[in-house]
């Protein structure tokens, strides 16, 4: 049965996810490094990962299956979940696929290198918009339908 795994630290689409979960009566796991204030429900599992780098990502990658959906902006986590056969969505509704994840990971690594070496500044992306929120809701609904 399909379950949703949310990389919940700084996740802007918790409410949209909860609406889909309620509509389809499927389980969601909100995984973060700190306690989250969310509604209490048998469908909502709040996981506080152990302290340490990438512990939340490790928990998600260890649990997720090919029947599941992951929501994350973390490219290395997306790569791990795609390799396990899961559907992986970014917060703006963009799906990471086996065909796109390699280039996405390479671009991330290149940009990190350029920032670290001082060749470019900054790093923050564009702000999260209403259309991003709408695109995510639509993409998550489609992913749930596909996995069911």
Question: Tokens at residue 84, please?
Answer: 């396990």
Q: Which of 102, 85, 88 is closest to 140 using CA atoms?
A: 88
Laid out side by side, the sheet with 27-32 consists of 44-48, 27-32, 3-7, 69-71, 87-89, 95-96
pTM above 0.85, yes or no: yes
Residue 124: predicted pLDDT: 59
Q: Which of 39, 43, 49, 9 is closest to 29 using CA atoms?
A: 43
Q: Residues 40-53: what's their mean pLDDT?
A: 94
Question: Tokens at residue 6, please?
Answer: 């949310």
Long-range CB contacts (within 8 A, 24+) of 27-35: 27/1, 27/3, 28/3, 28/4, 29/3, 29/4, 29/5, 29/60, 29/63, 30/6, 31/5, 31/6, 31/7, 31/56, 31/59, 31/60, 32/7, 32/8, 32/56, 33/9, 34/9
CATH of 3-147, one of 3.80.10, 3.30.70, 1.10.10, 3.40.50: 3.40.50
Residue 110: predicted pLDDT: 61
Q: What is the largest CA-CA distance in the chain?
A: 49
Residue spans per domain, the chain? 3-147
Examine the pLDDT at 137 and tell me if it is beyond 70.
Answer: yes
Per-residue pLDDT reduced to its tens digit, 59-116: 999 999 999 999 999 999 999 999 999 999 999 999 999 888 767 676 656 666 666 7
Per-residue pLDDT reduced to its tens digit, 7-42: 998 899 999 999 999 999 999 999 999 999 999 999
């Amino acid at each position: 049965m399909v379950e949703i795994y949310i990389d919940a630290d700084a996740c802007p689409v918790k409410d949209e996810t909860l609406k889909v979960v309620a509509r389809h009566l499927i389980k969601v796991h909100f995984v973060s490094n700190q306690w989250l204030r969310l509604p209490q429900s048998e469908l909502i599992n709040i996981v506080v990962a152990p302290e340490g780098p990438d512990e939340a990502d490790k928990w998600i990658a260890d649990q997720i299956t090919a029947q599941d959906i992951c929501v994350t902006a973390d490219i290395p986590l997306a790569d791990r979940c795609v390799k396990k056969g899961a559907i992986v969505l970014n917060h703006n509704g963009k799906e990471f696929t086996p065909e796109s994840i390699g280039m996405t990971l390479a671009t991330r690594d290149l940009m990190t290198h350029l920032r670290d070496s001082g060749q470019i500044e900054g790093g923050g992306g564009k702000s999260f918009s209403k259309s991003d929120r709408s695109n995510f809701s639509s993409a998550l609904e489609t992913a749930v339908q596909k996995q069911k």
